[in-house]
A and B are shown apart, each in its own frame.
Chain A
C-alpha cells in the first residue's frame, strides 16, 4: 500500500483522500471519528475500475466466487495485476439471490473436506476482510418425518462425524426446543420424529460477502470492472490470450471463468462443452416479523428450507424448475409447493404476506459436485458446477481457484473435482449420497 499512497501524494488532494479512505480499516474508532463530521467521511468501499488493455490474470464473473478468487490471488499468491470482469453489477447474480445458508453437512470425504474448509474460512472472514459478513452460526436442523428418515439421518450424521465434522442427532423433543414454531401437534400433517443438526451451520449476509471480498481485492490493487460482458475468447496456437468484451479487447494469458449459470455460454464462446445444465432456482421472503425462528430448518421430504433473516423476514428456499432455463424467475407451481410444505411445518406463517420472490440461474452437474480446475484450452480455467449450493462454498471456491490460476496446479482440496471425472466415471455423487440437492 505504501507505493499507492506515495503515488497519491503527487495527485490531487481529493484523490489522495480517496486512496487513504478506501484502504482504511473499519473500526469503532472510525465510526466515532465520523460522529464529529456527521458520518460524511465514508467513501466507496471499492474502486469501480476502467479496464486496462492487459492483465496477468482475468477472472470472468464478479460474483462471490470470482471476487474471492481475485482476493486470494492477491492475498495468498501475491498476484495483483488482475481484472474481475462482471457483466452486470457485482454480487447481482446468484450471490445476491440465495438463501444465505452456510453449512458443511456432506456425506463423502472429498465434499466434507471442501465444504468444511469453506465454513472455517467463513468463521474467520469478518476479521480477515475487516468487513462484517454477519455470520450467524445459529445451526441447521434437518427434520426426519419417519423412522426411516431417522435411520437415514443417523447414517448421514455418522458419516459427517467420520469426516471430523460435528453433527448431532436430535430427538423430537430436542427439535421442539430448537424450533418451537414447528407444528408438533397430533394433527400435524408432517409428524416430526426427530432429526439432526450441524450446530456450526447458519447464515451470513450474502451481499456483505461479495462487498467484503470486493473491498479486500480492490485494496490490494485489483481492478473490479462492472458492465463488462465477455463476448469472445482470443486464442493463439491453442492457448488463451485474451477476451473481447463490451468494453473492448483485454489481453491475458491466464483466464478463470466463475460464471455459475452462464458457464456453458462462456464455454461455448471458448469452444468446449461442459457437463452442465442451467436451471432456475427460486427463493422468497415474507414481510419482516419479530424473531420466531433462530435456526435454519430443512425438511428434505417436503423441500421446505426456511430461516429468518436478521431483518425479520422469513426466507424460504424453493426447489428447481426442472427444465433448462436462463430466465431469472421461477414457476408459480414450484413456489406453491414450497410454501405448502413450509406452512404444514409452520402453520403460524400462513398469514405472512410475501414481499419478494426471485430466481437465480444455477449450474447443475450430474453428481451435484463442483468443477474447479483447467479446461481443454490451455490457460483457461473454470470454477462451476456448484449448482444450488454455491454461496456456502464462496471462500473455498475462491481459495482453490486462485491456487490453480496462480500455480497451474490443482489445489489438493480441488483435485477430486476435475472435469475428467465425467470421463473416468469417478463421480462424487452428493445428491444421491446425502439426499440433498444442496
Chain B
C-alpha cells in the first residue's frame, strides 16, 4: 500500500486519499476550438513513469495538493502545494 505525506497531516495510508487525476492542466479560453476543448477535457499524457497528479486527503483534512509519482513503481518523488510549480 502506498503511503502519502499529506502536507498538513503527515504520512498516511493511501485509502484515506482520493486521486484527482493529472495536475497542472490549464483551462483553455472560452472561445477555444472544439478540438482544443476536447483535448483539455479528455486527452491525457498517461505516462509510464513520473506523473504529476492531484490528490485530496478526503478522509483526513480534506485539503488538495500535488504529487509527483512514478506510475511503474508507485514511488512518490515529491509532494507540492496547489498552485506551486513542480519542484
CA distance A424 to B44 in the complex (A): 17
Contact, CB under 8 Å: A423 / B21: no
| A326-B44 contact, Cβ under 8 Å, with A273-B39, A332-B1, A423-B38 | no
Contact, CB under 8 Å: B14 / A273: no
Q: Which of A322, A323, A422 contacts B38 (CB 8 A)?
A: A422
Contact, CB under 8 Å: A327 / B74: yes
CA distance A8 to B76 in the complex (A): 57
Q: List, in ascending order, chain B residues with CB within 8 A of A324's CB.
A: 19, 21, 46, 51, 53, 71
Q: Which of B14, B18, B41, B46 contacts A422 (CB 8 A)?
A: B41
Produce 1/0 per residue, B18-58, CB < 8 A to A: 11010000000000001101110111111110010100000
Tell whether B72 is near chain A: CB-to-CB under 8 Å: yes
Tell whether B84 is near chain A: CB-to-CB under 8 Å: no
Tell whether A277 is near chain B: CB-to-CB under 8 Å: yes
Chain A's closest residue to B74 (CB) is A327
Tell whether A342 is near chain B: CB-to-CB under 8 Å: no
Q: List, in ascending order, chain A residues with CB within 8 A of B48's CB.
A: 262, 264-265, 278, 326
Q: Which of A262, A265, A276, A322 contacts B19 (CB 8 A)?
A: A322
Contact, CB under 8 Å: B34 / A423: yes
| A333-B14 contact, Cβ under 8 Å, with A322-B19, A324-B51, A423-B35 | yes
Q: How many residues of A contact B (CB 8 A)?
A: 25
Contact, CB under 8 Å: A268 / B15: no
Contact, CB under 8 Å: B18 / A331: no
Interface of B is mostly: mixed
Contact, CB under 8 Å: A331 / B38: no
CA distance A276 to B45 in the complex (A): 8
Q: List, in ascending order, chain A residues with CB within 8 A of B39's CB.
A: 273
Q: List, in ascending order, chain A residues with CB within 8 A of B53's CB.
A: 323-324
Those 4 A-B pairs whose CB atoms lie nearest each other, nearest first = A264-B46, A275-B42, A423-B38, A323-B19
Chain B's closest residue to A332 (CB) is B1
Tell whether A274 is near chain B: CB-to-CB under 8 Å: yes
Q: List, in ascending order, chain B residues with CB within 8 A of A278's CB.
A: 46, 48, 71
In A78-137, which residues have CB < 8 Å from any B CB?
Answer: none
**A-B contacts, 14 listed (Cβ < 8 Å):** A264-B47, A264-B48, A273-B45, A275-B38, A277-B21, A277-B44, A324-B46, A325-B71, A326-B72, A332-B1, A365-B42, A366-B41, A366-B42, A423-B34
Q: List, in ascending order, chain A residues with CB within 8 A of B69's CB.
A: 323
Q: List, in ascending order, chain B residues with CB within 8 A of A423's CB.
A: 34-35, 37-38
Chain A's closest residue to B18 (CB) is A322
Contact, CB under 8 Å: A274 / B71: no
Q: Which of B1, B13, B38, B45 contacts A264 (CB 8 A)?
A: B45
Contact, CB under 8 Å: A327 / B71: yes
Contact, CB under 8 Å: A274 / B46: yes
CA distance A277 to B51 in the complex (A): 11
CA distance A277 to B21 in the complex (A): 9
Chain B's closest residue to A334 (CB) is B15
| A326-B71 contact, Cβ under 8 Å, with A332-B1, A333-B15 | yes
Contact, CB under 8 Å: B14 / A276: no
Q: List, in ascending order, chain A residues with CB within 8 A of B41's CB.
A: 366, 422
Contact, CB under 8 Å: B19 / A268: no
Least CB distance, A75 to chain B, in whole angstroms: 33
Least CB distance, B82 to chain A, in whole angstroms: 17
Least CB distance, A360 to chain B, in whole angstroms: 15
Given A324-B51, A327-B74, 15 further pairs, Cβ under 8 A: A264-B48, A265-B48, A268-B45, A275-B44, A278-B48, A322-B19, A323-B69, A324-B21, A331-B14, A331-B15, A333-B1, A365-B42, A423-B37, A424-B38, A425-B34
Q: Which of B37, B38, B44 contacts A276 (CB 8 A)?
A: B44
In B57-86, which residues have CB < 8 Å from any A CB?
Answer: 69, 71-74
Contact, CB under 8 Å: A422 / B43: yes
Q: List, in ascending order, chain A residues with CB within 8 A of B15's CB.
A: 331, 333
Chain B's closest residue to A273 (CB) is B43
